[in-house]
Structure 1
Amino acid sequence: MFGSPRFAVRALSLAIATASVGFSGIASASMGNIGTTYGVMPIDVATAQSLSMFNDQVSATYYNPAALTRDDRGELTTGILHAEQELRSANPNASGDVVSSSPSQHVLVGMKTNLGSLTRFGHPIYLGFIAGVEKYGKEMLAFDSQTSNSGQFLQYGKEPLFLNLGGATPIWRGISVGVSARITLDATANLDAVSTLGGETSRERLAVNAEPQVKTIIGTTVDLGSTFCPESNCFLQGWETAFTYRTKSSASTAVDSNIIVSQTIPDPGLSLVVSTIDSFQPETFGVGAQYKGDGWRVGGSVEQQNWSELSDEFKGDTIKDQSTIPASSRIQFDDTIIPRLGAEYDLNKNFSVRGGVAYEESPLKTTRNPEINYLDTDKIVVGLGISATYDRTRLLAYPVRLDLGYQYQKLQERDFTLVDFDGNETAATADGDVHVISGSVTLKF
């Protein structure tokens, strides 16, 4: 009595397409963000995020807000990030093996300042924020959630709005703490319409609402020399440690539609509900250490990312819902450990070089994921970068800093079984190459 299945699909498509106008154009997004997938600023890109917990730039609001205290000057930073991807899935039934080659292109802006002068205590309180917008600032809410017959990569594509706001303060000799907020959007849409069998609608009524979701990031840094032997030299001089915690976050959208079809589906109509998530970032624990010498430093970090929680998130996702699939065949994720190692060397007072390497294990546990057909592989990440400081400024009080970073990601080969909507299976081998280049200009004040 509810009409043909063909119309139900058409009505659902109408609801989703109409709601999408309120959010953004359809874009290939990913279960990640620039902070976890590539690195926010050039120094993060160049060191494969190995030294990010100790960087004093505004990207600290994401990696370790306590590091905002490392430089007492204010900062204004602008930059761009461009990532070229060639993600492949070789299978005999495909016309080509490139699944995704859409670039990610971000414009970045950030600022840091000391608010301590607002109080009578004179104690430094640093506030920082950073924002990144896709397609060089033209596409703020990249979002896509879909099933696939040919396979889709889990962590690559256009990235959603990247927005972080945080603060930090030193609390006791060599120890600083900081907290920041990772801001994402949850969007909802309600659609009521009357339609003919031909799909022509009238009396449409659409309400779209987007609410910010705030997720916490906590960090601390400890200068061991200043903490344990502040008045004398000891073997701890030059050593620093850092600890961070990021709660899980995601972007989501929900569409609730009610369609009345003339002479076919009377009032109250056909009700269709779609709820889906995108751009998931797992709960993350991180610990890092570095040793800083005269004009050089070396360090590393280890992160635990709790991706297993994504399996539970998918239970409420109507697009990726696998409730009709046997439990043994449903998509599953593992928690992962990511080691990173990097170094930086000052060539002279104006130029410094840096590099880093990381090994990122895939969180995707299952290699047969019916209908969704996610692809993800282990990857080796290598980065290189350079900084130049121009100190002959005639108008500015402090030198201008220019940063460039390059990163290469090699996705290792991994075999998958693709299952289409009719249950047909196809063997596929996923791999890929990713090239990232990032640049920024930093002004101090």
Structure 2
Amino acid sequence: MTLAPPEQRMPADTTQTRGLRGREAAVCATATTSVVFALFALAEHGLSPWLMAASGTAILLTLLLFRDRMPIGVPSASRSGDRADAGVAALLGAVPDPALLVDRRSVVVGATPAAYGAFPTLRIAQPLSFTLRAPAVLEGLDDVLKSGEARTVEFTHRGGAERVYAVSITALTAGDDKGALLFFRDETAARRLEHMRVDFVANASHELRTPLASVMGFIETLQGPARNDAVARERFLGIMREQAQRMSRLIDDLLSLSRIEMRAHVQPATPVDVLGLVKHIIDTLTPLAGDRGVALELVAPSTPVIVPGDRDELLRVFENLIENAVKYGQSGKRVVITVSTPAEGAAANDNEISISVRDFGPGIGPEHVPRLTERFYRVDVAASRDKGGTGLGLAIVKHIVNHHRGRLQIESELGQGALFRVVLPLFGDQKAAGRMRG
């Protein structure tokens, strides 16, 4: 916590006895009591934690605002005041959000450490307008200082990384002293999540609307011109079946994603032989790979490798990755699946295993790699749909890997193929895990 500069404080009154003068002590007590009662009122009404934090910060800032205007007499009292300043400063140092205290002229007289991190140009004893070029905040502050009624405004701070803040502005009044507390809540992540939700709904609606429109169109055709055309009827019914299956896959993927997210906080703990699982998937996909002229190669240890997990979820992860490698890396003619213990890749350690799927196809442009796990993101929309993709496969893979407290790593360059690596924690005692499975 930073107080107003020493030269702005009142000089000590050496003729005064120890302690605060009666009127000034009453002013400070009144201010503190008012904010304490406000804090209890917030608690009784069950308001959000950030408002509670704002009120708690207000108590400390109010004490400092009015304490700076109260002379302390004897030296021992000054030392006591210094210790109080240090104690309150330590408490405010623990406040995670930016908070500013301004006087009646909108001059900054106090700030939490987080405020300096958020607003590098912040200076004590300068008008707030020197720090924030935010008309909504400054106008809201003027209204609060005039009316005494609290307000919440929003502004976007573009210093460095763009951040969105909700600013709670509360009037602080005790005797003739007046000021305001500005408490900043970072809404950036919440707004980003909201945008993602809006995009998700729009994309999901679009993905469902396209095949549905196709089905509706063919139904109208079958009811009209093609009513008595047996050949056309069979062809149209086949297309309708494909579109219905596409919608079914999309709905299944949406439900799977929802289930995984609902269980994200609970790490699976059942012993799973991930090597045996990968071998099973390779056996299952060998006919598909053969039809496309792709050879599946496995590089792995000879003994089982046990991880804590959910077998069905891990099956979906590696089935998705290997099938994608076959479909999209077909031109490379081979897909190599490598099971490594200890794990390979960045930040790997001896207590982890990595399973990588490498194809030798056309590769993926570097601009696409960071977005591959976004919902409905496709490098080539037409190619993905032609291959039966919903645009959710890698999003599901990422969520499952996170659910298992693992990591998904993607490496690719155009013309060099692509590598997808899953790093998972090993089961602590491999032999005991093997017996548990048996």
Q: Same fold (TM over 0.5)?
A: no
TM (normalized to structure 1)? Answer: 0.19
Higher helix share: 2
Higher strand share: 1
Which structure has the larger Rg over C-alpha atoms?
2
The structure with higher relative contact order (CA 8 Å, sep 6+) is 1
TM (normalized to structure 2)? Answer: 0.20
